[in-house]
A and B are shown apart, each in its own frame.
Chain A
Amino acid sequence: MINFTEFTLSNGLRVMVHEDHTVQIAVMNILYDVGSRDEHPDKTGFAHLFEHLMFGGSKNIPSYDEPLQRVGGENNAFTNTDITNYYLTVPASNIETGFWLESDRMMSLSFDPKVLEVQRKVVIEEFKQRYLNQPYGDVWLKLRPLTYKVHPYSWATIGKEISHIENATLDDVKDFFFKYYTPSNAILVVAGNVTVDQVKKLSEKWFGPIASPKLAHRNLPLEPKQITKRFMEVEADVPANAFYKAWHMPGRFHQDYYAADLLSDVLSRGQSSILYQKLVKEKEIFTSISSFVMGTIDPGLLVMSGRLKEGIRLEDAESEIGEIISSVLSSGVHEGDLEKVKNQAESTLEFGEIEVMNRAMNLAFAKLSGDANLVNEEGARINAVTTDQILSVAKEILQESNASTMYYRAKK
C-alpha cells in the first residue's frame, strides 16, 4: 500500500507526495508524457536524444549535474516508447535543490548548439554500443517494423537509423521542447522524508510561475488488426540460432492486460514454467526461452524469444512452440499454474515497493492512466484473473494470423 496525496497547480502540473519518514532521503520523479511514439517518422530517436540535452544546462543554471552533486544528490533518466522519466535522490534537507533544478529546465533550456553537437556524438556511440556492437543487439530494430506497420511503435526508441540522429537540428530541439516539456504534460512525484505541506509550498514557489501553453493533442495512427501471419529471416554473425515471435495484445491500461501478462508468466516465468520445462529441460530444443509482454500504453506485444541448442533447426523449434500453444488453446491453463504465477506476481509487487524511488516511479506511471490509485489496485486486479479469462485472451492473442515470426540465423 503506497499512501499519497495529490494536487494540481494552476498551470496544470500534477503533483503527488508520498511521505516515508523511515528514510533519510527525498526523491523526485518527473514524468513527461512524451516518448518515441510522438516522433516524426523521419526524425526518430529524437525523444531520447532530447533527454540527453536536458542535462546540458537550462536558462538560469549552466550545469544541471554539478549543483546537484554539490548537495550530495544523484540523478538519472530514461526514455521509452511512451514516456521520458527523470529522477533524482538527495539528502532530505536538500530537496529544494531538486525543485530549483527541475523547474528551471522545465521553464527553458539553454539551447546551446555545442551541447547538441556533443550529445549527438554520445548518442551515436550509445547506438553502436548497445544495438550494433552486441550479438543479437539489432533484433528490435528489425522486429518492430515487422510487427507495426503504421503505429510509431514501428521504430525503436534509440531511432530507426543513425542518420536521423545525425540530422537533428536546434530548431527540432526547440520545437520539441515547447511542445512537450510543459507543466500540464508532466507528473511530479516527491517522496521520502518530506511533508505534503512542504512539497505544496515548494511546488508553488518553483513550478507555479511556469506558463503552460496549450497542449498539442496526441493523435497517433491506430495499428490496424493484423490478418495474415508475417515472417522475416535474418542472418548474422552470431554463435547460435535465435527465435522470436510477437503477437499483438492490449495496452497497459486495458482490462485484459493482466490476463495476458499472467498468460506469459504461466508460459515462461521461472524454471518450473511450461516452456522452460518442455523445451529447455525435456526436449533440449532451446538453451534459453522466455515470454513477456511489452507493457506499452498503446496496444502492445506478447513476445516469445529463445536461443536454440546447437544442431536444432529453427523450423522445428517453431513447431515445438506451436504445439505448446495449441495445447494451451485447447485445454487452457491449469488452476494450479495460475495460482503459482499469482503468487509470483504478489511477491514481485511487494519486493518492488522496498525502494522509495520505485514507489515514486510507480505512482507517476499509475497517474498517467488517469487514476494514481491504480498503483494500489494492481494486486487485486491480478488476483481477480480467472483461468477462463486467460483462455479467452489466449484465443484472442495467440493466433498465427496475429503473429510475426523472426528467424535469427547464425551465419555458418
Chain B
Amino acid sequence: MLDRTIAPPFTRSTFFELISPVQITLRNGLNVYTISGGNQSVIKIEILIKGGRWTEKHFGAAYFSGSLLSKGTSKKSSFEIAQIFDQYGAHLEINPGMDMVSIVLYTLNKNLQPTLSLLYELLTDAAFPEKELAQTKSIYQQNLKVNNEKTSFLASKLIRANLFGKNHPYGKELEEGDVNAITRDMLHQHVQAQFGDFLIIASGQVTDREQKLIQETFSNIPIKASTASVHANDALKPYRQIQEKEGSLQSSLRSAKEIISRTHPDYPSVLFLTHVLGGYFGSRLMKNIREEKGLTYGIYASYNTLKHKQYLVIGADVNKENLELTFDEIKKELARLYSEPVPLDELDTARNHFIGSLQSEMTTPFAHADKLKSTLLYNLPEGFYQTLINRIDQLTDEDLMETASKYFQGDSFFEVAVG
C-alpha cells in the first residue's frame, strides 16, 4: 500500500550554466552578442541603447524619441513601416526605460533579412513627423489619465518620488505639462546625442547566416559614446504619506528603501532575505497577510535594480480600514527577520525554491539572453549567477540575522498608500 503521507525522495543541485555567448566586434566598434538555442526557427534581436531617461536633456525626450522611431523615416510612412513588419509576421517592441531604450525585433528566421534592414532604417533615419508626434502625445495623455485612476499606478509613482526626489530621473514621472512641452527638435537632439551608443544581443536560432546578416546590416552604422550624465539625489528621511483617492475601494500601499548594488558583498543575503520576506508564494508576507488574515489578493517584496540605484519595495492592495494593520504587520515581519533566526526548515525550503526557480527559468534561449543582458548592463562579474547560488547555498541563519539588522530595520523604509 502506497503511503501518501511520505514525500518522495528528491535531489538538489546548485549547478547553473548559461549558454556562453559568442561576441563579435564589428569594424565600427559595435558589439554583437549571440546566443544560439531552441528548436523553433525564431530569432529575437534586442538593441540596447544607452539613451534612457537618465541621459535626457529634456524630460520625455527618451520616451518619445524611442516610441516614435517606428513612426516614419525620410523614405517610409508609419503605415508602410507597420505594413512591412506585419506582412512578415514580425513583431517590434520598443521600451524606453530609465537607463536604456530597448528595441526588440521578434521574427521567424526566414524573414530576418527584410525586417532587420527595416530596423536599421529606423535607427539611422527616423524622421519624427510632426503629425505622428501630436498623435502619440494625445494618446499618451489619455493613457496617463486612465493610469492616474489606478491606485497601484499612483502608489508606485509616489513611492519613487519620495525615495529619489521629484527632480531625480528615477523619482519623476511624465505629467501632462511635460508631454506638451516636447518638440521634434528635442527628439532629434536626443537621438543625435545618445542613440549612437548601443549593443546588440541576438538569441534563438542564430547560425552563420544570421550572424552574417547582422554583421552586414550594422557594420556601417556610426557608433559613438553617449554623453555621461550625473544626477545626485538629496538625502531624504523616511516618512509615511497617505494620499486620499475618492471613490476607491482599496488602498495600494508601498514600503521601500534604497539598497546596496548587485556587486556588494551583502547582495546575496539581502536578495535571499527579500525572497524569505515576500519573494514567493510561501513567503512570510504572503503567509501572514494573505493566507492567514485574508487581507489581500497578493503581497510581495522585491529587489529592483536600475543602473545607478537599487531599491527594495514591498507592495499590496488592501481595504482602507486594514491599511494600518497591514503596515504594522509588515513592520513585524521586518523585525522578525533580525530578531529571530530563520528556522532551518524554512531556510531549506526558501533556499531550494530560490535556486530551483532560477534554474527553471533557463528553458529558452531568450531567458539566457536576458541574463546576459543584466550581466552587460550592470557590469556583473563572470559567473555571477553561479556565484550567487553558491553564496546563497552557504548562508546560515546567523548570517541572515546580521544582514537583516543592517538593512531591514522598519524605520528605514519610506511608506506610501493611495486609495
Contacts and interface: CB of A to CB of B under 8 A. Distances in A.
B133 to A, nearest CB: 13
Given A91-B13, A277-B79, A240 B145 contact: yes
Nearest to B4: A60
B375 interface: no
B10 A93 contact: yes
Given A128-B249, A271-B78, A281-B79, A351 B295 contact: no
A371 interface: no
Nearest to A343: B89
Contacts of A172: none
B352 A69 contact: yes
B321 interface: no
A65 B353 CA distance: 10
Given A91-B13, A346-B108, A69 B353 contact: yes
B83 interface: yes
B139 A287 contact: yes
A344 B89 contact: yes
Interface string B20-52: 000000000000000001111110000000000
A74 B291 contact: no
Interface residues of B, number: 74
B142 A347 contact: no
A132 B419 CA distance: 13
Interface in B277-336: 280-282, 290-297, 317-319
Contacts of B13: 91, 93
A121 interface: yes
A91 B250 contact: no
Interface residues of A, number: 81
A351 B82 contact: no
Given A118-B291, A133-B249, A72 B359 contact: yes
A279 interface: no
Nearest to A91: B356
Contact of B356 (A61, A71, A277): A71
B125 interface: no
Interface string B138-159: 1100110110111100000000
Contacts of A93: 10-11, 13
A59 to B, nearest CB: 7
Interface stretch (B216-224, B236-244, B259-267, B362-370): B362-370
B249 A288 contact: no
A223 interface: no
B294 A117 contact: yes
Interface stretch (A78-86, A243-251, A353-361, A392-400): A353-361
Contacts of B10: 70-71, 93-94, 96-97
Given A209-B2, A240-B146, A100 B7 contact: yes
A281 B78 contact: yes
A284 interface: yes
Point out which of A22, A134, A237 has the most chain B C-beta atoms below 10 A from its C-beta. Answer: A134
A135 B248 CA distance: 10
Contact of B353 (A70, A118, A123, A288): A70
A93 B282 CA distance: 22
A287 to B, nearest CB: 5
Interface in A350-382: 350-351, 353-357
Contacts of B274: none
A264 to B, nearest CB: 15
A24 interface: yes
A151 B281 CA distance: 36
B107 A347 contact: yes
A222 interface: no
B343 interface: no
Given A70-B349, A133-B317, A355-B363, A272 B79 contact: yes
A122 interface: yes
A70 B297 contact: no
A307 B147 CA distance: 14
A48 to B, nearest CB: 12
A121 B359 contact: no
A351 B107 CA distance: 9
A310 B138 CA distance: 9
Interface string B356-394: 110110111010000000000000000000000000000
Contacts of A271: 78-79, 82, 86
B177 interface: no
Contacts of A277: 79
B89 A287 contact: no
Interface of B: 2, 4-5, 7-13, 37-42, 78-79, 82-83, 85-91, 106-108, 135, 138-139, 142-143, 145-146, 148-151, 247-250, 280-282, 290-297, 317-319, 348-350, 352-353, 355-357, 359-360, 362-364, 366, 419
Given A128-B250, A132-B249, 4 more contacts: A70-B348, A72-B352, A271-B78, A343-B89
Which 6 A-B residue pairings sit nearest by Cβ, starting from the closest? Answer: A72-B356, A121-B294, A347-B89, A239-B145, A271-B82, A343-B89
